[in-house]
Amino acid sequence: MDAKDVVNNLLQKNDGWLTLKEVLAEGISKYDFYALVEQGGLEKVGHGIYVSDDGWPDTMYLIHLRSSQAVFSHETALFLHDMIDREPLHYSVTVKTGYNPHRLKEEGIKVYTIKKELHELGLSQAKTPFGHLIPVYDMERTLCDILRSRNGIEMRVFQDALKSYARHKDKNLRSLMQYAEALNVAKILKPYLEVIL
C-alpha cells in the first residue's frame, strides 16, 4: 500500500482528520506525507493536525488533539451530557496544576486547574456534535466542578443541571457524594440534593 492509500485509510477511519503522529506510526516518512499535503486535499489546522477538504470543522475535537491532557468540564461537560440545552459561548477544560494553559486561553477557552491526583477523577468520554470521541468528566464530577467554581458560574446553571441530573436514569448518587467529598463540596451539595431528590 502506498503513502496515499495509507493516508486515505486514516482519513476515512477518523472522519477526515489525522495527525502527523498517526501517519509516522504507519511507516510513512514526513517527506512523503508533506508531498501529499502539497498536492492538495488536506489542510493543516494545528501543529501536526490535518483535516481533509470534506472534513467537518469540529472545534472540540481540535482542542482535544492540540492538548491531550485537557478534559472538557463545567458548562461544556453539561452540554455534552445534555444537562443544558444550549452550547456554551466558550468551551471549558480542566488541566493538571502546572500545565501551561497560555495557548488554550489565547483561543478563548476557559481553563480550570486541578491537582494531579484529582485530574482523572470521574474521567469518561463523550461524542462531540460531529461524532468524535473526546475526554469529558462524567455528570457527577461535572456537578461537583460547577459547585467548586460557583463564584464564576451562575447558580441558575447549577440548579438547572441538578434538576436535569435528578431526571437521569443512569445517575450515580454514591459516586456524586464520593466526588463531592474528594473535591470538598459535600457540605454545599447536600442541601441541594435534599430539595431536588
Which residue did the predictor score with more confidence, 6 or 71? Answer: 71
Instruction: List, for residues 50-108, the tens digit of each pLDDT value.
Output: 888 877 778 899 899 888 899 999 999 999 999 988 888 899 999 999 998 888 898 89
Q: How confident is the model at residue 197 (pLDDT cuts 50, 70, 90)?
A: low
Averaged pLDDT, 123-132: 92
Count the neighbouring beta carbons within 10 Å of the beta carbon of residue 196.
12
CA 19 to chain centre: 18
How long, in residues, is the chain? 197
Which residue did the predictor score with more confidence, 181 or 103? Answer: 181
Domain edges within the chain? 3-55, 66-196
Angle at 91 between CA 90 and CA 97, to 5 degrees: 120
CA 159 to chain centre: 22
**What is the rounded CA–CA span in Å between residue 25 and residue 6?**
11
Averaged pLDDT, 120-124: 97
Cell numbers given for 138: 462524567
Averaged pLDDT, 117-139: 94
Least confident range of 2-6, 91-95, 113-117: 2-6
Pairing of strands 71-72, 123-127: unpaired
Which pLDDT value is given to residue 111? 95
Instruction: List, for residues 145-161, the tens digit of each pLDDT value.
Output: 999 998 888 888 888 89
Which residue did the predictor score with more confidence, 26 or 123? Answer: 123
Has residue 1 got a pLDDT over 80?
A: no
Q: Is 110 within 8 Å of 92 (Cβ atoms)?
A: yes
Which pLDDT value is given to residue 14? 82
pTM of this structure: 0.84
